[in-house]
């Protein structure tokens, strides 16, 4: 049975990385899609593991061939999610996480329609988020201000998401995320007209009816 395509986004300082790390340690059958990038590999980064490192020409060709589910340019470098890469995992029955921002999420929804669902993680409050960003001790006051500003802009996209998780405590957030994964595996998939497709898809549970 095909896996689910899952968009996950969160304003910075929400704790998404911690939540995903714990989720992947707990739940079977989930994976990340490895992105393509034109950025140079950093020390320790492996091709095919951290990213697929490609040159600009290759990236542009792939983009022209509509090979990306979503792509973005950040600081002069291109990043993209290959359809082929995602599809390979889905056909193996794995749920594929796309850890992308609100703009990437819009592109994927456009391309995948009902064939994906999306999760937005929000901090319990602005105060808590600011204190988390400050607590990291890695960013300047100006950077934190910028991140908070971006977070407020990103929050305006919250209502485009299918699920909203408030990261009040990490444990509760991971539990909610895990619940969403399991629940969606039981969900009746429907086409654009609401007709069920692939009704007994979770028959790998042993259903022989």
Residue 67 or residue 166: which is nearer to its own copies going by CB? 166
String of contacts with its own copies for each residue 178-197, x by CB under 8 A: xxxxxxxxxxx-------x-
Choices 14-22, 29-37, 90-98, 119-127; region in contact with its own copies by CB under 8 A = 119-127
In this structure, the strands spanning 95-99 and 30-32 are parallel
The rounded distance, in Å, linking the Cα atoms of 110 and 127 is: 34
105 binds its own copies (CB under 8 A): no
Distances (CA, A) of 172 to 21, 148, 178: 14, 24, 10
Instruction: Compute the C-alpha angle 44/34/96, nearest 5°.
Output: 140
208 binds its own copies (CB under 8 A): yes
The rounded distance, in Å, linking the Cα atoms of 70 and 52 is: 15
Residue 44 or residue 206: which is nearer to its own copies going by CB? 206
162 binds its own copies (CB under 8 A): yes
The rounded distance, in Å, linking the Cα atoms of 186 and 208 is: 16
Which residue ranges make up the site for its own copies (CB under 8 A)?
119, 122-127, 155, 158-166, 168, 172, 175-176, 178-188, 196, 199-200, 202-203, 205-209
């Amino acid at each position: 049975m095909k896996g689910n395509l899952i968009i996950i986004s969160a304003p910075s300082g929400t704790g998404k990385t911690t939540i995903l790390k714990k989720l992947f340690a707990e739940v079977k059958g989930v994976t990340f899609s490895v992105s393509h990038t034109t950025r140079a590999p950093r020390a320790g980064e492996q091709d095919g593991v951290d990213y697929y490192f490609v040159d600009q020409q290759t990236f542009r060709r792939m983009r022209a061939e509509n090979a990306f589910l979503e792509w973005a340019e950040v600081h002069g470098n291109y990043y993209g999610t290959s359809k082929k890469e995602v599809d390979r995992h889905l056909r193996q029955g794995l749920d594929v996480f796309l850890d992308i921002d609100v703009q990437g999420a819009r592109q994927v929804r456009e391309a995948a329609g009902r064939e994906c669902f999306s999760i937005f993680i929000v901090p319990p409050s602005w105060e808590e988020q600011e204190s988390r960003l400050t607590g990291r001790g890695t960013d300047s006051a100006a950077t934190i201000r910028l991140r908070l500003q971006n977070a407020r802009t990103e929050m305006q996209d919250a209502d485009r998401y299918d699920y909203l998780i408030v990261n009040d405590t990490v444990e509760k957030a991971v539990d909610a995320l895990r619940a969403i994964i399991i629940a969606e595996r039981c969900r009746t998939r429907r086409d654009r007209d609401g007709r069920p497709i692939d009704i007994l898809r979770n028959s790998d549970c042993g259903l022989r009816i």
